[in-house]
Amino acid sequence: GENVEQHPSTLSVQEGDSAVIKCTYSDSASNYFPWYKQELGKGPQLIIDIRSNVGEKKDQRIAVTLNKTAKHFSLHITETQPEDSAVYFCAASPRSGYSTLTFGKGTMLLVSP
């Protein structure tokens, strides 16, 4: 089955800095890569996703890049703000419509004012 590795497990940055979280996946059939943000006391929420036919996707201060050859994808947050502090999860899903998401172990991002 699919295996998703996520790094780093914790990341501390100063407000205004950029943050990058990286994930690798094992199943070359995976074609859907979402990112989730989990705030304290809440469930994970989808913030951005990318499919294997696209190399990069951007939404305001967040962007995701995908390298299919190397089987890794990354989340980039620019101009970080304290409200970006949360746990971030990457996930991957194979091409089959009968598949499920496999999640990374999560990255705790702390943005200091």
- Contact footprint for other proteins (CB under 8 A): 6, 9, 31-32, 34, 36, 41-46, 49, 51, 89, 93, 97-106
Comparison of 98 and 113: residue with beta carbon closer to other proteins: 98
- Tell me, what DSSP letter sits at residue 40? T
**What is the rounded distance in angstroms from the CA atom of residue 101 to the CA atom of residue 4?**
10
Closer to other proteins by CB, 14 or 53: give it: 53
- Choose between 9 and 28: whose C-beta lies nearer to other proteins: 9
Quote the least distance from Cβ 13 to other proteins, whole Å: 21
